Structure 1
Amino acid sequence: MNHRYSQSLANWPSLRWPWLLLASTATALTLTALYFQHSMHLAPCEQCIYQRTAVIAIALGAWFTAINPQLLIFRLVGYSSWLGAAIAGFSSAHYHVWLQTGINAMFASCNLEPNFPSWLPLHELLPSVFAVTGLCSDVDWSFLGLVMSQWMRIIFALYISVAVFIISYRLWKLRRF
């Protein structure tokens, strides 16, 4: 990799377009989830809602960071929301896959209400987006042989991988955030 290109890659977090790209992908995933829910009538379960919340957190953090990515505080918000939400989303998706494919999948269950903090009951504030209406063991959709929870696990793994790569590369190349 030539020096000029590697230096520009290290500077991506200070540019607006990568944050807009990240925000756009997470926003598109959120809109797709809402389409699945409201147009295709696929009922989201507790784990689906947690994964949706993680994707929204990635989007909000990236939209915020795109305001002024040159400022360290904005990038720190972006990095932490991106990586933190992606890890939480991966964990939820991984658990969801286990619920759907585990040995006792028929007996696996999840809560009928998400466990949001009492000071931010998203399922009560915006039930059309955050209310649980399905069961974690339901498998109503698949694409290329993978169910939605498996796709979300892949998507979150990609978000984590890209975040770790970009942050590590920036630290290594520039020796700073």
Structure 2
Amino acid sequence: MLKFLKILSTQRTSWLLLILSGLLLEGCALYFQHGMDLSPCLMCIYERVALLGIVISGIIGFIFPRFILIRLFAIIVGLFSAIKGLLLALKHFDYQINPGPWNQCSVLAEFPTTIPLDKWIPYMFNPTGSCSDIVWSFLGYSMVQWIIFIFSCYIILFSLLLISQFKKIKQQRMIFNES
């Protein structure tokens, strides 16, 4: 399996699928916000940024899939983003299951002054909801629980990809005889 994953990581198609999965999830988030009129909270916004980190790692891997150092960098960026996203989602879930005045998220986004995403792209990164509200569920699980599952899947994927990069693949020479 590790050999298969290493070979897969050297192909642009797999990185493109990673990019598309992240963009699809970002599109779903925007549909929930603008199509279904669900207000995103601060943690939702931060989780979107973590998901964009996964998309960026896919773009890096897509551009240079054959260069091991750049591929490793892309995998590490993706793994870091997935772990950060999972930690944010777990904290968000804590806000939902233990609501109270002492356990709330901030109302304002705290992006660095050099990258104020909430000012640059407010339709995507401006929080307007409350972190403790459960506004949507599917199959009995809240949106945050689904996000925990999604980031966990990304962590498993990137961890296996990282481990697979150290797998040696034997080069076989094919000799074709024409008779």
Q: TM-score, normalised by structure 1?
A: 0.89
Identity of aligned residues (%): 36
Task: Write the distance in 2 (CA, Å) between the matches of 1:44 and 1:173.
Answer: 45
Q: Does the CA-based 8 Å contact 2:40-2:127 persist in structure 1?
A: yes
Letter of the structure 1 residue corresponding to residue 50 of structure 2: A
Aligned to 2:9: 13
In the other structure, the counterpart of 1:35 is 31
Aligned counterpart in structure 1 of residue 167 of structure 2, from 145, 150, 172: 172
Q: Residue 41 of structure 2 aligns with which residue?
A: 45
Q: 1:74 aligns to what? A: 70
Matched, 1:64 2:60: yes
- Please name the residue that 1:132 is paired with: 127
Tell me, in whole angstroms, the C-alpha distance in 1 between the residues paired with 2:105 and 2:3.
47
Report matched runs for 1:96-111 at 5 Å. Answer: 96-102=92-98, 105-107=99-101, 108-111=103-106
The two structures, once aligned, show a CA RMSD in angstroms of: 1.7
* Whole-Å separation in 2 of the counterparts to 1:76 and 1:112: 36
Give 1:112 shift.
1.2
Q: Tell me by how many angstroms 1:172 deviates.
A: 3.4
Q: 2:139 aligns with which of 141, 144, 147?
A: 144
Equivalent pairs counted in the alignment come to 169
Larger Cα Rg: Structure 1 or Structure 2?
2
Flag structure 2 segments of 5+ consecutive residues without an equivalent.
Answer: 170-179
Return the alpha-carbon distance in structure 1 between the equivalents of residues 105 and 160 of structure 2: 34
Aligned equivalents of 2:69, 2:156: Cα separation in 1: 22
Q: Which has more helix, going by share of residues?
A: 1
1:95 to 2:95 alignment? no
Q: Tell me, which stretches of 5 or more residues in structure 1 are unaligned?
A: none
SS at match of 1:19: helix
For residues 126 and 76 of structure 1, what CA distance do their matches in structure 2 show?
30
Whole-Å separation in 2 of the counterparts to 1:137 and 1:94: 12
Q: Is the 8 A contact 1:10 1:173 kept in 2?
A: no
Query: Which shifted more, 153-162 or 76-85?
Result: 76-85
Alignment deviations for residues 59-104 of structure 1 (CA, whole Å, 9 cap, x no partner) = 12202320221123431331122101101100000000011012xx
TM-score normalised to structure 2 length? 0.88
Counterpart secondary structure, 1:42: coil
